[in-house]
Amino acid sequence: MDRSTARYMVMILGILLSLFFSTTFAQSSCANYNFASNKVFSSCSDLPYLDSYLHWTYNPSSQSLQIAFRKTGMSSSRWAAWAINPISQGMVGSQALVAFQKSDGTVRAYTSPITSYQTGLQEGDLSFPVSDLSATYSNNEIIIFATLKLQINSSSTLNQVWQEGPLSNDNPGMHTTSGPNVQSMGTLNLLSGESKATSGASNSKTKYKNVHGVLNAVGWGILMPLGAIIARYMKVFPSADPAWFYLHITCQSSAYILGVAGFGTGLHLGSQSPGVTYTVHRGIAIALFSLGLLQLSALLMRPKKDHKWRTYWNFYHYSFGYGILILGIINIFKGLDILSPEKKWKHAYIGILVSLACLAVILEVITWCIVLRRKKSANANKLSHGLNGTNGVNGVNGYGA
């Protein structure tokens, strides 16, 4: 029965991990995005910088371009813009669509021709007609909608620029002049959907973010709780000793290694985004890194079961362990709020947490049933030995005391 239960545990956990990875890597950053307004676009592109995405529908015969520019990870104190540069690559000469949330809660969207690097994004007419211009802001994401009437060359390729920056009294301020803010430009083929950054860079930052999220979710959010489940419930089976201990150590060590790798990619992303700081998310990540290191260090100081300090070591180990579990899960949801991926990502992770919780509840019931049955059996054996002994009554009373 013990081995059978252990096999079922491994099978269930394997299914959960398979579900996570299949859901995670099947997602696309823009292709599966559903607009609240039920608008549908024929093409989309994950822009390589500034957490931005472009959706569009292009009609070659009329040269009409319907677009939706999405900028995620936005706060209400920042502006976002997407532009076409009809004359060259770069900022000067760009014909921009600008949007931001005003201090009264309304969202303003307007056009602004860029004539110099010192622009204040003043409102003005563009070199081509623009209609149906609007914008929305919710869940730290701003979306600009518009229809453009263009005069594009036969290759259907245009120069695009996208940007974000701070607000001051409902007026756009100067954006950062280093890092992704000066790399957020490139070409876009409206027919093939091919998007290239001017620098020739690929979507490396988006990939780093995906890697960062997956490493932390698997490490802190799945393997760490799984290791705790193994330690609590597998050791109730005598045949699982000491296998449960080595599984627990392997699981927790792997979780920490993945978590540290995720921590490293987070530091790299931070170095690529000057001026962008997520204080709470970063603080929890540092705490997890430190607590995890202390937990691994505690393994070297683990006293024997009969040692007088073992009780204190257990308290230390359990306290830090449960603290890591709670902080890890909290920080994963913080990261999801920052990245603002499709809802399916968050739903998949919530489903995994619920599955692990249900597994823990089932194993908790099984564990208590086994413990109570063993206690009842032990009591019966002691009672039997006491009654069969020379002083049966004293034996019973002695056990009861």
Annotated binding site for heme b: 212, 248, 281, 317
Binding site, residues? 212, 248, 281, 317
In sequence order, what DSSP letters do the residues of 57-111 get, joined into one string? Answer: EEETTTTEEEEEEEEES--TTEEEEEEEESSSSSSTT-EEEEEEE-TTS-EEEEE
Nearest residue to 49 via CA among 268, 197, 225: 197
Give the number of residues written for the chain: 401
Residue with tokens 């239960």: 5
Query: What does the block give as tokens for 394?
Result: 């004293």
Which region holds residue 386: left if phi is over 0, alpha if psi is between -120 and 50, else beta? alpha
Helices (H), 272-309: 279-300
Distance CA 401, CA 397 (A): 6
Nearest residue to 355 via CA among 122, 19, 126, 4: 19
List Cβ neighbours of 163 (8 Å cut-off, separation of 6 or more): 50, 80, 81, 82, 83, 91, 96, 175, 181, 184
Nearest residue to 75 via CA among 379, 398, 340, 388: 340
129 preceded by a cis bond (ω within 30 of 0): no
For 146, which DSSP code? E
Query: What CA–CA distances, in Å, run from 14 to 7, 225, 356?
Result: 11, 14, 12
Residue with tokens 């394997």: 14
Query: What does the block give as tokens for 95?
Result: 């014909």
Q: Provide the strand spans (E) within 177-218.
A: 185-189, 195-197
Residue with tokens 């690097």: 117
